[in-house]
Amino acid sequence: MVVNLVRVIRMVLLYYNKLLGCELKDELNKKNIERIFLWAFAWSVGATVNSVELFEKAMSEIFPVDQLPRGSAFNYLITITKLEGRVEVDY
């Protein structure tokens, strides 16, 4: 599971590095890194569970609610944009 988590994060960073033409590892702040991690966590660890409801309940107990997307963690995508020199990660 951890290997898959790291692979998903790496895949996202490589894709957006190429798309935005920058090194995201140098430009992301803590909030943005947390959002990428939560998305990758949902899709790498969450893919191995039998109950989506129990997994999402556990996520809401482990992670700060303000960092989680509304609704199901499996129904959202992340978008990374660079505007006016700032990189933002949104659900």
Give the single-character DSSP code of 69.
P
pLDDT surpassing 80 at residue 75: no
Burial of 8 (C-beta count, 10 Å sphere; 0-12/13-18/19+): buried
Q: What is the pLDDT of residues 16-64, one digit of tens each?
A: 888 888 887 778 888 888 888 888 888 888 888 888 888 888 888 888 7
pTM of the model: 0.77
- State whether residue 84 is helix, strand or coil: coil
Residue that has been written with the tokens 């895949």 in this structure = 11
pLDDT at 85 over 80: no
**Which residues are 81's β-sheet partners?**
88
Task: Give dist(CA 41, CA 60) in Å, integer.
Answer: 13
Residue 35's pLDDT is: 84
